């Protein structure tokens, strides 16, 4: 590998990209301009489309007490609002007063087109008030009736919480006898409709004689408190009729205005109370017996941090991918499309050098795009918060995060964009044209976006498991680091697995890209027309002894989807009968119909030799012995490994459903043969037919056995769903795959699977009669059989020896095959004797 060539390719590609106006615009100019423009736009919008004033109609405003006065000349007094004049200006208060010469002229306001005049508004308000009061039985027909129906407590009556809805529920029952339900709803519909078109958003109805009642109450409190006679305070209070505040919760405008009116009324009410208390000579402290004080501990930079901790990781991930996306398509598929690929391949540069040069280019653009976006957005945010905090009482300052988090940002960005660059390059190389490249890359973009959204949720925090999931690990670590620099000490521990795994993934992706560049099928694929009917006919007509690669992939997807369906629709009914038996029956059914059936059917339909596909050949005795032996030594290792991982919280605890199944093995009320049949025999047959049979045969066709075994075991892990079991299954899948390849037969793998599951069943059932001796075996507090170091070491040695032996044999066979001494898979149907 020569650095000179890599550099040459790199420099050319960078120059090429820089000369491409579209790419340049997408990944550099756009972010630099986008955020300031967006920011400017938002500020502009806020200035132009500042909130329109909402109309509040106050009926019978003359009846409000004057000390303290709720209303002043222009509307509700500034002093009742938290933010003073600013909020006053957002409400247009139309207070109904008895006409006086002076007032008349001032309130005469020229309505704009389409708006109602004040008189019209008041007329509507009166109609509404009448309807509402009759509906809720509040119309003061006579003194007695009012006393009987009005809500009793004066505080709640005055406070806006006693809005119409609460009144409805309390009066409903009394009204039920008089009017039918239908009438009531009709009336309510009518009111709602009229309110909607009324032209005002909040209606405040001050009852007749409100001021007089209030003053009477105040006087009474005064005399009662000075005389300290036991006058019933309740009796006093009920004489003050409630102020009705009408709103429409379904209308945002009404809700916003209502919120303002409510706050003002509350502080006004406080003032009224204070005034009454003063008049009565009561101590002020009585007003707020529970003294409360709110203290804000968030520093300004932390507020900023919490904003950035959400924005930056998401933006970083998405922009790193976007930045890789466009150059990758151009460098991969674009090169094929323009016909320059072949020229490049003919140059003496090695494929690796070409790939690395291209990869470095894409990574440069990916990193640059991400950083430019962050920088531009950060600066814009800072600028905007400065602009906005002038006008508004908005104390969020969006200062840039500190140096340390920024350094982390850059460090974590590198493996992330390496991963994206390599992935994009590989996919773009695989594509025949730029259009196809976009088809391949769009799903990648969606998946990554989904993962990022997942990380944005505040509930999701870093765990050991997340620290090795690509994309998620970087996003979560960054989120944590940006959120709280103080506690980042704990998180930094995760930096190691995050970095190592991210670098690992990017290496894998890069390796894949290099592989693709070495594959002539990929480089010289001809775009061909695709006809589904033709394709299907071809599929059935041109069968081979063993399944093709895509068929194996399809089989896996089919099994996976069936599992998914089963998870949602096949919930066992455990309420009647024997729940254990029901569950066991279900397990067997699932195994047979959703794992074995798809594989066997596909095998019958798509291959010519079931024998070759499912490896139905007599194994040697050695192979069978290896299967059994490996199962025995693998068991303690897997048990201890998964215990270790659970204890270190790499995997979550088993979910309830899995524990129920474990419980079945434990209780011991089922006969042993049944347990073995359900948990060992069935999976050994069904899962092996599917995974080491159909799927592995298809995958191994590519000739790369190691990859085939790896992928098949990963698939095997994935269908186990529960992380812990999936991990175990994937590990064992490697051994099973090796066994199948080594012996060219499915039976040793079945034997392994059977023994492994059988032992696990006994293990779950408290490990039989094995005595804990403290050297080889021990028991944990739950009575679970555990294995100790000496036993584990012995097992590991034995296992390694057996695996080494198998690998050696497989490699020898492969060599022989390559030299043409052994017929390849096409002759396997008849030629298996050659090996045995």
Partner 1 sequence: MIRVQGLFKEFDDPRSGVFRALDDVTFEVRPGEIYGLLGPNGAGKTTCLRILSTVLRPTRGLVEVDGINVVRNPEGVRSRIGFMSCNTGIYDRMTAWEMVEYYGRLYGIPEEKLQARITEIFNVLQMNDIRDRLGGKMSTGMKQKVSIARTIVHDPPVIIFDEPTSGLDVLVARAVLQAVSSLRDQGKCIIFSTHIMREVEKLCNRIGIIHRGKILAEGTLPELADKYQQPDVEELFFDLIQRREEEVRNSGANSEA
Work out which of 20, 161, 270, 640 binds partner 1, going by CB under 8 A: 20
Comparing CB distances to partner 1, the nearer of 208 and 537 is 537
**What's the min distance (Å) between Cβ of 346 and partner 1?**
5
φ, ψ of residue 347 in degrees (nearest 5): -65, 155
CA–CA separation, 11 vs 653, rounded Å? 51
Q: Are strands 785-787 and 777-779 parallel, antiparallel or unpaired?
A: antiparallel
**What's the min distance (Å) between Cβ of 372 and partner 1?**
22
**What's the min distance (Å) between Cβ of 356 and partner 1?**
14
Name the segment binding partner 1 (CB under 8 A); options: 10-18, 213-221, 790-798, 807-815.
10-18
Instruction: Tell whether residue 5 is a contact of partner 1 (CB under 8 A).
Output: yes
Comparing CB distances to partner 1, the nearer of 66 and 542 is 542
Tokens representing 413? 């960005």
Closest CA to 711 of 701, 724, 721, 723: 701
**What's the min distance (Å) between Cβ of 315 and partner 1?**
30
Instruction: Tell whether residue 515 is a contact of partner 1 (CB under 8 A).
Output: no
Comparing CB distances to partner 1, the nearer of 349 and 795 is 349
CA–CA separation, 592 vs 339, rounded Å? 51
Work out which of 3, 439, 524, 564 binds partner 1, going by CB under 8 A: 524
**What's the min distance (Å) between Cβ of 831 and partner 1?**
18
Closest CA to 93 of 64, 55, 66: 55
**How far, CA to CA in Å, does 557 sit from each of 410, 430, 473?**
38, 21, 26
Work out which of 1, 4, 102, 296 binds partner 1, going by CB under 8 A: 4
Comparing CB distances to partner 1, the nearer of 87 and 330 is 330
**What's the min distance (Å) between Cβ of 17 and partner 1?**
9
CA–CA separation, 663 vs 667, rounded Å? 6
Instruction: Tell whether residue 608 is a contact of partner 1 (CB under 8 A).
Output: no
Burial (CB count <10 Å: 0-12, 13-18, 19+), residue 453: exposed
**What's the min distance (Å) between Cβ of 396 and partner 1?**
45
Comparing CB distances to partner 1, the nearer of 179 and 538 is 538
Size of interface with partner 1, in residues (CB under 8 A): 26
3-class SS of residue 70: coil
Name the segment binding partner 1 (CB under 8 A); options: 48-56, 135-143, 392-400, 520-528.
520-528
**What's the min distance (Å) between Cβ of 541 and partner 1?**
9
Residues 6+ apart with CB under 8 A from 697: 546, 547, 552, 612, 613, 614, 615
**How far is Cα of residue 296 from the mean position of the Cα atoms in its chain?**
30
Comparing CB distances to partner 1, the nearer of 456 and 523 is 523
**What's the min distance (Å) between Cβ of 359 and partner 1?**
17
φ, ψ of residue 270 in degrees (nearest 5): -55, -45
Write the secondary structure of 390-451 as one string of H (helix), E (strand) and C (coil): HHCCCCCCCCCCCHHHHHHHHHHHHHHHHHHHHHHHHHHHHCCCHHHHHHHHHHHHHHHHHH
- Per-residue x/- mask for partner 1, residues 531 to 560, rule CB under 8 A? -------x---x-x----------------
For residue 453, the 8-state DSSP code is H
**What's the min distance (Å) between Cβ of 343 and partner 1?**
5
Beta-bridged to residue 612, according to DSSP, are: none
Longest CA–CA span in the chain (Å) reads: 119
Comparing CB distances to partner 1, the nearer of 144 and 526 is 526
Residues 6+ apart with CB under 8 A from 368: 27, 28, 323
Comparing CB distances to partner 1, the nearer of 239 and 336 is 336
Closest CA to 475 of 398, 400, 402, 415: 415
Instruction: Tell whether residue 215 is a contact of partner 1 (CB under 8 A).
Output: no
Instruction: Tell whether residue 24 is a contact of partner 1 (CB under 8 A).
Output: no
Beta-bridged to residue 785, according to DSSP, are: 779
**What's the min distance (Å) between Cβ of 12 and partner 1?**
6
**What's the min distance (Å) between Cβ of 16 and partner 1?**
5
Tokens representing 651? 């995997």
Comparing CB distances to partner 1, the nearer of 380 and 609 is 609
Comparing CB distances to partner 1, the nearer of 15 and 808 is 15
Name the segment binding partner 1 (CB under 8 A); options: 164-172, 267-275, 516-524, 591-599.
516-524
Name the segment binding partner 1 (CB under 8 A); options: 12-20, 453-461, 483-491, 751-759.
12-20
Instruction: Tell whether residue 520 is a contact of partner 1 (CB under 8 A).
Output: yes
Name the segment binding partner 1 (CB under 8 A); options: 8-16, 106-114, 360-368, 794-802.
8-16
CA–CA separation, 698 vs 712, rounded Å? 10
Work out which of 521, 573, 647, 669 binds partner 1, going by CB under 8 A: 521
**What's the min distance (Å) between Cβ of 422 and partner 1?**
23
CA–CA separation, 366 vs 421, rounded Å? 7
Q: Are strands 54-59 and 202-205 parallel, antiparallel or unpaired?
A: parallel
Comparing CB distances to partner 1, the nearer of 521 and 773 is 521
Work out which of 19, 110, 284, 291 binds partner 1, going by CB under 8 A: 19
CA–CA separation, 168 vs 174, rounded Å? 10
Comparing CB distances to partner 1, the nearer of 314 and 349 is 349
Contact 195, 128 (CB under 8 A): yes
Closest CA to 732 of 700, 754, 702: 754
Return the residues of window 335-354 that contact partner 1 according to CB under 8 A.
Answer: 338-340, 342-343, 345-350
Contact 649, 468 (CB under 8 A): no
**What's the min distance (Å) between Cβ of 520 and partner 1?**
5
**What's the min distance (Å) between Cβ of 24 and partner 1?**
11
CA–CA separation, 295 vs 529, rounded Å? 70
3-state class percentages of the chain: helix first, strand second, coil last, to nearest 5 = 70, 5, 25
**What's the min distance (Å) between Cβ of 355 and partner 1?**
15
**What's the min distance (Å) between Cβ of 824 and partner 1?**
12
- The total number of residues shown for the chain amounts to 836
Cα-only R_g, the chain: 39
Comparing CB distances to partner 1, the nearer of 19 and 819 is 19
Name the segment binding partner 1 (CB under 8 A); options: 16-24, 365-373, 407-415, 640-648.
16-24
Instruction: Tell whether residue 529 is a contact of partner 1 (CB under 8 A).
Output: no
CA–CA separation, 180 vs 186, rounded Å? 10
Tokens representing 142? 């006579």
Instruction: Tell whether residue 459 is a contact of partner 1 (CB under 8 A).
Output: no
Comparing CB distances to partner 1, the nearer of 17 and 724 is 17
φ, ψ of residue 677 in degrees (nearest 5): -60, -45
**What's the min distance (Å) between Cβ of 535 and partner 1?**
8
Comparing CB distances to partner 1, the nearer of 12 and 116 is 12
For residue 678, the 8-state DSSP code is I
Comparing CB distances to partner 1, the nearer of 5 and 467 is 5
Comparing CB distances to partner 1, the nearer of 13 and 63 is 13
Instruction: Tell whether residue 270 is a contact of partner 1 (CB under 8 A).
Output: no
Axis-axis angle for helices 434-456, 403-430 (nearest 10): 150
Residues 6+ apart with CB under 8 A from 393: 83
Contact 20, 335 (CB under 8 A): no
Comparing CB distances to partner 1, the nearer of 13 and 687 is 13
Which residues of the chain form contacts with partner 1 (CB under 8 A)? Answer: 4-5, 8, 12, 15-16, 19-20, 338-340, 342-343, 345-350, 520-521, 523-524, 538, 542, 544
């Amino acid at each position: 590998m020569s650095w000179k060539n890599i550099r040459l390719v790199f420099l050319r590609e960078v120059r090429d990209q820089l000369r491409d106006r579209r790419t340049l615009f997408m990944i550099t100019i756009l972010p630099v301009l986008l955020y300031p423009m967006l920011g400017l736009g938002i500020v502009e919008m806020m200035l132009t489309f500042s909130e329109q004033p909402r109309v509040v109609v106050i009926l019978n405003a003359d009846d409000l007490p004057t000390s303290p006065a709720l209303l002043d000349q222009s509307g509700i007094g500034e002093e009742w609002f938290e933010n003073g004049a600013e909020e006053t200006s957002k409400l247009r208060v139309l207070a109904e007063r008895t006409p006086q010469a002076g007032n008349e002229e001032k309130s005469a306001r020229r309505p704009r087109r389409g708006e109602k005049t004040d008189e019209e508004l008041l007329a509507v308000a009166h109609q509404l008030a009448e309807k509402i009061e009759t509906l809720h039985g509040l119309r003061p027909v006579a003194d007695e009736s009012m006393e009987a129906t009005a809500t009793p407590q004066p505080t709640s009556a005055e406070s806006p919480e006693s809005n119409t809805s609460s009144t409805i529920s309390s009066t409903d029952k009394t009204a039920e006898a008089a009017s039918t339900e239908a009438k009531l709803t009709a009336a309510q519909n009518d009111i709602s409709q009229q309110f909607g078109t009324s032209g005002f958003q909040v209606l405040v109805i001050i009852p007749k004689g409100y001021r007089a009642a209030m003053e009477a109450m105040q006087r009474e409190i005064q005399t009662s408190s000075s005389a300290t006679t036991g006058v019933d305070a309740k009796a006093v209070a009920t004489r003050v009729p409630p102020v009705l505040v009408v709103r429409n919760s379904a209308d945002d405008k009404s809700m916003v205005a209502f919120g303002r009116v409510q706050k003002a009324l509350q502080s006004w009410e406080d003032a009224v109370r204070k005034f009454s208390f003063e008049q009565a000579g009561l101590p002020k402290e009585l007003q707020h017996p529970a003294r409360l004080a709110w203290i804000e501990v968030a520093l300004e930079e932390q507020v900023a941090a919490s904003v950035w901790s959400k924005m930056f990781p998401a933006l970083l991930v998405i922009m790193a991918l976007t930045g890789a996306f466009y150059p990758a398509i151009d460098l991969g598929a674009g090169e094929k499309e323009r016909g320059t690929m072949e020229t490049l391949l003919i140059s003496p540069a090695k494929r690796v050098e070409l790939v690395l040069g291209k990869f470095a280019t894409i990574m440069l653009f990916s990193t640059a795009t991400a950083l430019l976006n962050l920088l531009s957005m950060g600066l814009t945010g800072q600028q905007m918060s400065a602009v906005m905090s002038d006008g508004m009482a908005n104390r969020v300052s969006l200062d840039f995060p500190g140096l340390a988090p920024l350094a982390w940002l850059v460090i974590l960005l590198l493996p992330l964009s390496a991963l994206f660059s390599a992935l994009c390059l590989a996919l773009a190389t695989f594509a025949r044209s730029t259009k196809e490249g976009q088809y391949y890359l769009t799903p990648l973009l969606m998946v990554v976006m989904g993962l990022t959204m997942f990380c944005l949720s505040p509930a999701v925090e870093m765990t050991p498991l997340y620290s090795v999931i690509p994309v998620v690990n970087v996003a979560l670590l960054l989120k944590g680091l940006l959120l709280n620099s103080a506690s980042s000490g704990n998180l930094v521990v995760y930096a190691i697995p995050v970095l190592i795994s991210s670098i690992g993934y990017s290496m894998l992706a890069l390796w894949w890209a290099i592989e693709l560049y070495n594959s002539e099928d990929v480089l010289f694929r001809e775009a061909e027309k695709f006809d589904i009917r033709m394709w299907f006919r071809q599929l059935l007509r041109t069968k081979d002894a063993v399944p093709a690669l895509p068929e194996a992939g399809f089989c896996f997807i089919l099994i996976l989807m069936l599992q998914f369906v089963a998870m949602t629709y096949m919930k066992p009914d455990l309420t009647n009968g024997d729940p254990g038996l029901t569950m066991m029956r279900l397990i067997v059914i699932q195994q047979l119909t959703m794992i074995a059936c798809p594989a066997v059917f596909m095998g019958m339909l798509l291959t010519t030799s079931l024998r070759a596909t499912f490896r139905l050949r007599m194994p040697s005795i050695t192979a069978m012995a290896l299967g059994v032996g490996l199962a025995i030594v693998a068991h303690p290792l897997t048990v201890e490994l998964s215990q270790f991982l659970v204890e270190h919280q790499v995997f979550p605890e088993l979910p309830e459903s899995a524990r129920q199944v474990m419980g079945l093995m434990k209780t011991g009320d089922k006969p042993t043969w049944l347990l073995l049949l359900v948990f060992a025999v069935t999976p050994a047959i069904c899962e092996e037919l599917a995974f080491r049979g159909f799927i592995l045969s298809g995958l191994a066709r590519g000739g790369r056995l190691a990859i085939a075994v790896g992928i098949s075991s990963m698939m095997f892990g994935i269908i186990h769903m529960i992380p812990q079991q999936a991990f175990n299954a994937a590990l064992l899948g490697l051994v099973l795959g090796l066994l199948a390849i080594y012996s060219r037969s499915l039976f040793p793998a079945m034997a392994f699977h059977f023994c492994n599951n059988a032992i696990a069943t006994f293990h779950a059932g408290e490990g039989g009669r094995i005595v804990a001796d403290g050297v080889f075996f021990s028991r944990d507090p739950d009575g679970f059989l555990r294995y100790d170091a000496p036993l584990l070491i012995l097992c590991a040695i034995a296992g390694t020896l057996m695996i080494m032996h198998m690998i050696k044999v497989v490699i020898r066979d492969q060599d022989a095959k390559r030299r043409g001494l052994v017929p390849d898979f096409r002759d396997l149907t008849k030629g298996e004797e050659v090996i045995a």
